[in-house]
Structure formats: C-alpha cells, structure tokens
Amino acid sequence: NETLRDAAARRGIFVGSAINYWDLQKDAAYARLAAAQYNLGTAENSCKFAATEGQPGSFNVSDCTSVLNFAHEHGMTFRAHNLIWGRSNPDWLVNGSYSPANLSTLEGTHIQHVVADVGKRPYCWDVVNEAIADDSDNSSTLFKAADPWYPAVEDYVYKAFAEAHAAAPSSIKLFYNDYGAEGTGAKASRVIQLVKNLQQKNIRIDGIGLQMHVSTGYYPSFDSVSANIKALGDLGLEVHITEMDVKCPTCNTTQGLEQQAAIYGGMLKACLDNDNCRSFETWGFTDKYTWLDQDTYPLPFDKNLQPKPAVAELLSIL
C-alpha cells in the first residue's frame, strides 16, 4: 500500500500531522505510524510559550527540539508552532499584571530566544496564532482580545513579525496561523488586510496557515477555500492547511465515514488546485489521541491506528 507521504512527495507537497511529545515517548506504534505516513510534522504543544519559557527569562526548547529531531530522523520537514498566542501561556505571564511596556519587552525577548535556540532547522515558524477578529465579531479593529497581549500591546502582531524576522535566518518562512479564515468571508478579508498592512510596513510575512478545524455539520465550501488560497497567492503568500480535523459524531457508521472522507478529500483538492498551497496537515492523525472529544472521531486513522476511508480518499486525490 502506498503511503500518504510517498503520494504527496510525488505531487511535490507536504502531508503532515501534529505530533504529541508525550504520546511519542509512550506509544511506539504511534511514532512508527507518524514516521511511515507523513513527511511533515509539528509539535502539538512543545514549542508554545508555556513549554519554552516556563519561568520568566528561563528558556528551554528541549521538548520542542525533541519533536523536531524525531521529525528530521525520519526525513520529515518541521513546522514550528507557535511564538505568540493568547492561549497556552504560562501563569507567570498571564497573572503577572505587567505594564504594556513590560509586555512588549517580554514578547520581544521570548521571540529572540526561542527562535535562536530552536535554530535554523524549522521550515517555518507560526509567528502569531489566532489574533484576528472572528466572523461573528462586529469589530472595528482587525484584532481580538488575546491574553495578555491585546489590547495591551496594540502593535503586538506587527512587532512579533519584525522580531521574528530579526531573529530568524532568511530560510525560515514566517507564517500567520488562524482558524475560521479558510473560506472567503469577513475573517478571511481581515487576514488579507493584515498581510497588506505588513507588506506596507515592509515587515516580512511569507505564509498563512489555515487551520481547518471543521465538522461534517459545518465546513466552508471547497470552492471558497480554493478562491481564498488563490487570493493569498496573489499577494505572494504560501498557504498551508495546518490543523485539519473533521468532527464526525456519526463516524461509527459507514455513511459518516464516507462523508468525513469526502470533506478531507475536498479540502486537499482545494489545496492542490493552487500552486502556492504547499502543505496539507491534520491536527493529530489517530482518533486514539485528539484534542477533541473522542466520540467525534475527527482524524484519518482510527483508535487502533487503522486507516479510515479518509486515507484512501486522500491517496486517490494525491
């Protein structure tokens, strides 16, 4: 049987998954399947702020680079995720009652150290995660509240990209990553506005990560995802599908599994439609380990690490 990674390599794209540091330590079959099927990996949590700066000014990227090393040992490309986000932050940062000026300094220091310590090996960094106002927000600002960064540090997104550019070798691509901006709409337009603002300020941004956390009950149309990827390409940006999962409460039935497979396939096809879409990644790969409720069966392999219909569908499209 052909693997996802061999099929993807033939098409010249990455097929990837989030990889969990702890599951990697304890579950050899999980590690084997990740290495066998994927040519790109992302640490699910180990490169985030709470994991890399557990105490102020004390940096430790060893869990992050451990997942990176696993990826490289198996010939996988590594996406580093993420530098600045309103979640997965350490208590000292969230509860510290820092002034805006102090927060701005903490932001810069974190980026400088983590980017330097992880080094030149990642393919890209998700510099900022989930900063933009949602479709449901009736927002006059591009950004939404993000603890502790916004609104305290008004320019925190621009600052993050400028700091990442200063700290990173030019080979590392700088990405903005978000959910809910996969298809065209208010949030996708705000992402495009952010890109234009960065470009106008001469601050480097190389790509957009579209998370793609969807469900059989709701997902953007494949055409609108394809059109959005194209619009981002017109601005010179690479696009990655970064965190796809498809919640499927009926995936204990054949019909549910086929519906889920079709959604995975349609999104892969929307990516392959566009030359600038270079990576198709799921947020985990087995229903044994998912950040979502286990009874939503969101991932392409089942709890016994066996391929679900989604895998055959992805292979048929690659």
Contacts of 122 (CB under 8 A, 6+ apart): 68, 78, 79, 80, 172
* Residue selected from 19, 33, 44, 222 as contacting ligand XIL according to rule CB under 6 A: 44
Cα–Cα distances (Å) from 61 to 7, 49, 295, in that order, read 32, 10, 33
d(CA 99, CA 268): 44
Which C-beta is closer to ligand XIL: that of 77 or that of 242? 242
Which neighbouring-strand residues pair with 244?
Answer: 282
φ, ψ of residue 41 to 5 degrees: the values are -140, 160
Contacts of 253 (CB under 8 A, 6+ apart): none
Minimum Å gap between C-beta 51 and ligand XIL is: 10
Indicate whether 316 belongs to the interface with ligand XIL (CB under 6 A): no
Indicate whether 59 belongs to the interface with ligand XIL (CB under 6 A): no
The position carrying tokens 């679900």 is 308
Total binding residues toward ligand XIL, as defined by CB under 6 A? 7
Q: Is residue 243 among the annotated active site residues?
A: yes
Which C-beta is closer to ligand XIL: that of 37 or that of 129? 129
Indicate whether 88 belongs to the interface with ligand XIL (CB under 6 A): yes
Minimum Å gap between C-beta 305 and ligand XIL is: 19
Minimum Å gap between C-beta 140 and ligand XIL is: 25
Indicate whether 45 belongs to the interface with ligand XIL (CB under 6 A): yes
Minimum Å gap between C-beta 88 and ligand XIL is: 6
Beta strand residue intervals within the chain, DSSP E? 14-19, 40-43, 77-84, 124-129, 173-178, 207-210, 213-215, 238-247, 277-282
Which C-beta is closer to ligand XIL: that of 21 or that of 264? 21
Indicate whether 39 belongs to the interface with ligand XIL (CB under 6 A): no
Q: Is residue 313 among the annotated active site residues?
A: no
Which C-beta is closer to ligand XIL: that of 238 or that of 313? 238
Of 130, 182, 238, 313, which one is the catalytic site residue?
Answer: 130
d(CA 144, CA 156): 12
Residues belonging to the active site: 130, 243
